[in-house]
Amino acid sequence: MTHHILVLYGSYRADRQGIRLARYLVRELRELGNEAELIDAKAINLPMLDRMYKEYAAGEAPAGLEELAGKIRKADAFVFVTGEYNWGIQPGLKNLTDHFLEEWFWRPAAIASYSAGRLAGVRAALTWHGTLSEMGMVVISSSLAVGGIRHALDDDAKPTGEGGAPLEKAFPRFAADLAWWTEAAKAQREKRGTPY
């Protein structure tokens, strides 16, 4: 079954390494037959949150915000690719996410974290888990954590060396878990709708 999956990435740094992980995920999800699309917060460049999408009158939201709202509503599932900044989450990805609320509801989310160090961004992933749950998503239990990001994926987003091997090993379970929850959520929405 084909699923429409948004892979959301939020680093604004000039020398972004996590983009390799985001591109890897898009490619691998597509190879499994999904329609996967990268949503790059830096490329979209939303302003710091002042007004949420829902706070605009119909037809008055900025074009980029309107387009992104449509993509989020259309998606069957989400993958959040997050680095870790001072034990916390990236402000760029959080800002993009916070522009929306109801648009996220009733779909699964997965978290893939990374960092330059050995802890692989897991503290940011833990924070995202609670945030995404609060925003109406079901966060799957499988996650990906890539340490030494600079050496785990090459410039073509192909796993390499000791850091890339665990990623390749963990991805099939991660993808299967996301697919299961995506199908379950979709079936429930079609069968019973949503409670609100």
Characterize 117-147 residue by residue with b for buried, 16 or more Cβ atoms within 10 angstroms of its Cβ, and e for exposed. eeebbbbbbebbbebbeebbbbbbebbbbbb
d(CA 171, CA 142): 9
pLDDT in tens, 108-151: 999 999 998 888 999 999 999 999 999 999 999 999 999 999 99
Q: Which of the listed CATH numbers 3.30.300.30, 3.30.360.10, 3.40.50.360, 3.40.50.10610 matches domain 4-192? A: 3.40.50.360
| Averaged pLDDT score across all residues of the chain | 96
Q: Sketch the domain layout of the chain as residue ranges.
A: 4-192
Residue 51 has pLDDT above 90, yes or no: yes
The pLDDT, as a whole number, for residue 50 is 95
Write down the pTM of the prediction.
0.96
Phi and psi at residue 181, to the nearest 5°: -70, -30
Residue 177 has pLDDT above 90, yes or no: yes
Q: Name residues whose C-beta falls within 8 Å of residue 126's C-beta, 6 or more positions apart in sequence.
A: none
